[in-house]
Structure 1
Amino acid sequence: MEGTEPTTRITTNGNQEADHMVLMSSKPLHRFVQREPGSLGIVIVMFGCAEVLMGFQLVGEKATTSNGLYVPFWQGALFLLCGNLSIYTERHPSKKMVTVCLAMYLVSFFGILVSGGYRIACILNYRYLGRWMDQWNFYRRDQLYGVEGLLLASSLCVSVLLIVLCVFARLALKSTRTQFIVQCIPAPAPAPAQSDKTPN
């Protein structure tokens, strides 16, 4: 069964819930949850929203921008998906969800490599725009430098977060077998038998 895999501990003194929490902390799948992927997911969602909003800003631009390959939109969608999956997996941990998260982290990381290369090519191309531009278009070129540079820097920040999450997810998937520990607590010793003799 590949759903949420509980760890149980059977005791005779009724402390099952406390023992359950102790064992959950040592299980690799729940160590992934303890590293709070949901918090990192919120940060990735914020970067994804910024990416999509900047993409709308670049739509009407005549110069070559990263919007030529619709990079802000598909990369922003990948960031939003990865962030939401991280948040959901922290609340509902399971082997399937961690596997899906790991796959999306890798896809997003390779997307960052593609978009980063294209954005660097666009930034290098902007230096040739100044030869045929008036003063107003110089300012426009500087804005393009700023927007593309900001999106490139945010992509690099997200790539670091994705690498960290990939490591956590891989460690969580390494060993997720269900643990059963049976602890037998002996019954208290019987009280010594009293004699039936009555005093005279």
Structure 2
Amino acid sequence: MLAVDLSLLLAGPNTILDGIHPDLRASLYRAPASGDQGDFVNDQKAKESGIDDGLVARRISCVSSFPIAQVFENYEVTVRGQLKRSKSIKLIDAKIKGLVVRALDGGTVEVSLKASAEVEPDDLATLGKLHLIGDIRLTLTPPDSVSAGAEDDDDEEDEDGDESDEPQRRGDLLEEQEREEERARAA
């Protein structure tokens, strides 16, 4: 069995921090105060991204980025290309580690992480092909969702009647990022 480390960098609304720790977003962001320079574009992006509580101003401007020491184990990582019929690869019992959070102005956050898992040789070749193509869709499914969805995976079907190889429930960490990408494609 081979192992693979997928290094990822995503930028999205700060609400994805809620999936890491429920108090993290409020620790890094605050509502804009009187006298803060407003930014119409950032305000609009925040509303479109579902940041309803107004926490878009960085609370501590001198903090650039910082690591999250926790390792998240037993995740399922699903990787597929953007094309509808792209082969999907599921990596089970993955470790999510090396998280680094960077708070940006306007309610945006960057999160970098590594997903480590064992992989079959054929899947490693497919991952290489997807890397060359460039645009991939990645879903992280937390352990509770993996075990809950395992019973129903065989019977699940897409709208077009094909069996789905997407997990039943999406991981909290990237769910908000996927919504943002879908809104951008629709616009």
One fold, TM greater than 0.5? no
Between Structure 1 and Structure 2, the one with more helix by share is 1
After TM superposition, the score normalised by the length of structure 2 is 0.24
- Larger gyration radius, structure 1 or structure 2: 1
After TM superposition, the score normalised by the length of structure 1 is 0.23
